[in-house]
Amino acid sequence: MALQIMVWILLASFVIVLFTIDVPWGEVFKGFIPQMNGGKDELITLAGLMGAAIAINVPMVGAYGCVQNKWTPKRFGLSMFENTFTNIMLWLVQAVVIIACASVLYPAGIIVTGAGTMAQTFQPFAGRFGVVLMCIGLLGSVLSTMASQLLAAGYFLTDAFGWEADLSSRRFKNCELVITLFGLSAPIIGWNAFALSTYGAGFNLTFFPIASMIMLYLYNRKDVMGENKAKPVMNVLIVIAIAISLIATVNYWVNLLK
């Protein structure tokens, strides 16, 4: 319940901030039209944004959760709704954050070097209240994302080692503890995790086409999916997603290695 409340506060706080600043909506919609004429840094950032928008952990956690909760095909509709709603929510949050930050930071020529810089830039437009809202939204974003990422890491590691992927098991909890300590080590040893997020998202994008190919294979196996085997429309959409992500991945690595 606490995590659900955090997610709703996250979305609400950014939406409120969005309507307390002057947003050039015409420029916003133009900004979402792809233009492949940027330089190295722009293309790496674009790949990072795509990687951040791809929540590869969502279907993974959803699949493991369905198995652990012993959901049968009778729950297929609920599972589809849950994953669809989750991805729509993620997209809304990301879109609102991008629009709010770009409307304030880009015209001012501000380069964000940390979450504090981003939050403080709203003070001249929305007062102290806007900064507080931004900080609450970022805190909710971090805490809610941390929970899902730790679940994904726990499921992946325990399954990879052939252990039981069970949230209540000691091995599962130990795997999550190791990942948490690794994440906490970043600021301790002096890494700027905020600055490295673009590259982390780029790596996430790299594995997306690989995971999508595996999912496409599994979705079309009758012995795995039964009556819920993928339909032609779903296959076409997945192939399109794979093609786009492959192009973006190649661009990311080519420009990163220049």
The model's pLDDT over 228-258, given as tens digits with 9 standing for 90+, comes to: 888 999 899 999 989 988 888 887 788 777 7
Judge whether residue 14 has pLDDT over 80. Answer: no
How would residue 124 be classed by pLDDT, with cut points 50, 70 and 90? low
Which whole number is the average pLDDT over 140-157?
Answer: 79
Do 202 and 51 touch, CB atoms closer than 8 A? Answer: yes
Give me the pLDDT at residue 217, please: 94
Give me the pLDDT at residue 232, please: 92
What confidence tens digit (pLDDT) does each residue in 33-71 have? 766 666 667 776 777 666 666 666 777 787 888 887 788
Which whole number is the average pLDDT over 10-14?
Answer: 74
Percent of the chain predicted with pLDDT > 90: 6
Position with higher pLDDT, 79 vs 195: 79
How would residue 221 be classed by pLDDT, with cut points 50, 70 and 90? very high
pTM equals 0.61
Q: What is the average pLDDT score of the chain?
A: 78
Position with higher pLDDT, 51 vs 165: 165
